[in-house]
Amino acid sequence: MARAIPKKPRRPLSAACGNSAGMAWGDIASIGFTAVGLVFFVAGTVGLIRFPDVFSRLHALTKADNLGLGFLALGLAFQAPGWTEIAMLAMVWALALVAAGTAAQMVARAALAEGDKDERP
Amino acid sequence: MMALAFDVVLAALLILAALAAVAGRGLFRAVIFFIVYGVLVALAWARLGAVDVALAEAAIGAGLTGVLLLAAHGRLRREGLEADPGAGGQGFAAIGGAGVALALGWAWFALPEPATATRAALDSALPDAGVGNPVTAVLLNFRSFDTLLESIVLLAALVALWMLARDGAWGERLGLPQHARPGGVLASFGRVLPPLGLLFGAFLVWSGADDNGGAFQGGTVLAASLLLAMMAGLYLPPRIGERLWQSALVLGPVVFIACGLVGALVWGGFLVLPPAYAKGVILAIETGLTISIAATLALLVIGPPEQAHNSGGAA
């Protein structure tokens, strides 16, 4: 299968700033930021399951989408082979942000129109 | 080790999502889990290195089919026909589904492996195909007859959907009137995203020649942009008889058949492509197909013409 991205092998940006302890600062940053992102995803999921009505559940969900995905993209950016991939990651996050925000508005308006009949068992 | 753990979790989630879609109560839940299942299948294809299939599954299998099912569910609910199939109906569906799975499994093991369809044969034929992406080469050169029929099936599906229109609604605009507030969030979103979608859809088609992408993936992205513009109230859905739309719907199959006939008359066989012209012809067919796929998919989601345009007064 023809793959687009690695046309020529490039060192990750993170490899350029390695420290003597054996673990590159870029890797530490990746682990840290993705961990923060995962915390937001877990919190968003818990909120989605536990919160009482549509609006607060939307609030939890969009936090996961916006901050969680943002921190994941930030963490992954330290592993990217070049600036093109970093720009792609930024675009993925920006587009997801706009789409999630719009979808949340739509769901909230629909819930408002239907009087927020809570259907949870 | 990490990769194995990821694959095991993915496979388990796939089976759970499939079970939840089939065995759960309620149509809406089944549709949602079907979409989740489609996203997971796309991930699985990506893990297997089949990026083209992953793109198609995410765009068509999960996205478009999911939207069609959601629209069907909404229609059933509006008309008060949303009923649970009951234990008997579910049992019948389970037996039918298991039967299809067994028959497919039997066919997979019973049929002889075709002698010509090996990776080595594909690699040796690829330089003559005109494109560098082996998937595109198979779809639009070596097995282009299948793709031609697929593009016609899509058109037939749309005609079948239009058959569901009530007599009095035939001349009306397609679908229900949209209720987006002018200047609201959806209207702004409908202005921001379609230009990006147009760019990305065209890129997917162009990149499909030598890399991942293709007419179906690009066409689905274009269809989504078109739908967004319609749902945001920025573009009114067409009526059935509009010439521009009719031309867009048949453009792909017409270009495809025309290229096939040229092959029959000049190059020695229906859909035969000589290596010197292959890339140009394939790109022409892909462009036509993309426009037709985009138009057909968008109109499939919008639905048959509805009388509500008259009484609703939105149009």
Match 């759960």 to its residue by tokens: B24
CA nearest to B49 within chain A: A1
Asked if A3 lies within 8 A of B51 by C-beta distance, the reply is yes
Closest Cα to residue B10, out of B75, B60, B54?
A: B54
**CA neighbor of B32 nearest in space, from B53, B47, B46, B18:** B18
Model confidence at A106, pLDDT cuts 50, 70, 90, reads: confident
Q: How far apart are CA B223 and CA B226, in angstroms?
A: 5
Give pLDDT, residue B176: 82
Residue B27, pLDDT score: 84
- What band does A36 get if pLDDT is binned at 50, 70 and 90? very high
Question: Which of B50, B189, B210 comes nearest A102 by C-beta?
Answer: B189
| Residue B220 burial (C-beta neighbours within 10 Å; 0-12, 13-18, 19+) | buried
Q: Following DSSP, what letter does each residue of A49-60 receive, concatenated?
A: HH-SSHHHHHHH
Helix (H, G, I), strand (E, B) or coil at B74: helix
Best CA proximity match to B141, nearest among B202, B206, B201, B209: B209
Token match 């609201």: residue?
B184
Suggest the residue from A102, A109, A112, A119 to mutate for an interface test with chain B (most B CBs closer than 10 A): A102
Q: From residue B58, how far is each of B45, B63, B185, B244 by CA, in Å?
A: 10, 6, 26, 29
Block means of pLDDT (10 residues each) for chain B, 315 residues, are 90 93 82 94 93 88 90 85 74 88 93 74 78 81 86 92 87 83 85 91 87 86 92 89 92 92 86 82 90 94 78 44
Shortest CA distance to B285 belongs to which of B267, B249, B260, B268?
A: B260
- Of residues A2, A95, A106, nearest to B132 (C-beta): A2
Q: State the Cα–Cα distance between residues A82 and A61, nearest whole angstrom.
A: 31
ipTM: 0.72
CA A38 to each of CA A34, A51, A91, B107: distance values in angstroms, whole numbers, following the listed order: 6, 19, 20, 43
Which residues in chain A are contacts of B211 at CB distance < 8 A? 2-4
